[in-house]
Homo-oligomer: A and B are copies of this chain.
Amino acid sequence: MDNKTRMLQTAMKAKAAAAVIARAATTDKNRALLILADALESQAHLLTEANTRDLASAKEQGLPPAMIGRLTLDAKTIRAMSAGLKNVAALPDPVGEISSLSQRPNGLMVGRMRIPLGVIGIIYESRPNVTIDAAALCLKSGNAVILRGGSEAIHSNLALGGLIQNALVECGLPADAVQVIPDTDRAAVFELLQLEDYIDLIIPRGGEELIRAVVGQSKIPIIKHYKGVCHIFVDSEVDQPMAIDICLNAKTQRPEVCNALETLLVHREAASSFLPPLANKMAAAGVTLRGCNLTRQILPMIEEATEEDWHQEYLDLVLSVKVVSGIGEAMEHIEKYGSLHTEAILTESYQNARRFIKEVNSSTVLVNASTRFSDGFELGLGAEIGISTTKLHAFGPMGLEELTTRKFIIYGNGQVRT
């Protein structure tokens, strides 16, 4: 069977399963999640066997150690996936929630009821734990999902997919509600991306190149973020020890993730007292600074930041630093070079905190806290399926609610329109 026919069959099965899973009882969905959580641990040998095959070919192909680390399923990562499933089972079910119910002057009771989106396609890179996380969130929110992970994790993903489908069937839910695509070539993904009559949403997770390729090939709605060029603006009135802690945390706690700090903007009145101690701490943490001319007057040993640096998502222990005349210039810089992801102001000024929160329209805006909090778990969503930096449907970290929509429900007693 050719790619096109197989992907069409996958999508048709997903759509049929979506109609069933949309109406599934919360108890059945939760039971499947808990059975799966147990199965991951009791069948761990199956997973590590499959993972060993992926790791062997990854080493053969000479993949970098960081990528091999992300690919590895060991007792610890399996325990973490199992715990994640139990967390999702414990979250409230968003489906069926009624809001804004009120009476119109003619007696109609009008409200909105939350319903699943339908069929979601998730296209992601090496981490096999995404297979479990994404399946759990889609199942809990009543959606069917088609999962297409990276070719380097194919055996691990198929083994996980098998356990997921067993758990679904054990609870009387359709196995096709979670399908892992066995194809590893890009031609199959392309065919999947054409099926707009069957798939309601595509979420690509991975590098900018992967995401641009998906966007370029599909007419299905896509929720995405290309990159996170996150900024912190250190104001003139600021608690400097707090600011140093926050900047260090934002840059170094996990430099490889999208909510890490990439560009630091410093008020010129704070620069001469703030930058030297910051530079010492950053150097001790292994961070290379690149600065504008004013920064280099204070820190002459650092490299010059070029125009390219201001656009850069380093995902590494590198930080660009710019001295600005005040909050106005800081916000202009963010507007010009930012990626609508996450920005923070560190300030003791009530006026500037209020202005920054109001006028910076990135998906997450913080006062006196680390950019690393831009995350579904940290913000209280209970889970995270991804982060959106496009404004339609969802903006910022996305949890269960963002995998649903709301229909209007109307209770009448004979009303006609006049």
Contacts and interface: CB of A to CB of B under 8 A. Distances in A.
B104 A410 contact: no
A349 interface: no
A78 interface: no
Contacts of A407: 361-365, 395-396
A49 interface: no
A410 B380 contact: no
A115 interface: yes
B219 A215 contact: yes
Interface string A135-164: 000000000000000000000000000000
Contacts of A410: 364-367, 369, 373, 379
A376 B373 CA distance: 37
A94 interface: no
A29 to B, nearest CB: 15
B370 A417 contact: yes
A277 interface: no
A242 B117 CA distance: 34
Contacts of A393: 392-393
B215 A115 contact: no
Q: How many copies does the complex hold?
A: 2
A188 interface: no
Of listed A363, A394, A411, A416, residue having the most chain B CB within 10 A: A416
A201 interface: yes
Interface string A363-388: 11111111011100011100000000
A204 interface: no
A248 B392 CA distance: 38
Interface string A234-278: 000001001001101110010000000000000000000000000
B408 A110 contact: no
Interface residues of A, number: 68
Given A19-B335, A246-B416, A391-B200, A408 B108 contact: no
A23 interface: yes
A171 interface: no
Interface in A384-418: 390-397, 405-418
Contact of A221 (B22, B392, B417): B392
A358 interface: yes
A113 interface: yes
A110 B379 contact: yes
A44 to B, nearest CB: 29
A305 interface: no
Given A23-B359, A358-B96, A406 B417 contact: no
B367 A411 contact: yes
A390 B364 CA distance: 26
Contacts of A245: 414, 416
Contacts of A248: 416
A84 interface: no
Nearest to A395: B405
A228 interface: no
A102 interface: yes
Contacts of A379: 104, 110, 408, 410
30 contacts: A23-B359, A110-B380, A115-B391, A117-B392, A118-B391, A215-B219, A221-B221, A239-B414, A245-B414, A245-B416, A246-B416, A249-B416, A250-B416, A357-B409, A367-B410, A367-B411, A368-B414, A368-B415, A369-B412, A369-B415, A370-B415, A370-B416, A370-B417, A372-B416, A373-B417, A374-B408, A392-B405, A393-B393, A395-B406, A397-B408
Closest A-B pairs by Cβ, 8 of them? A369-B412, A249-B416, A372-B417, A393-B393, A366-B410, A391-B405, A242-B414, A364-B408
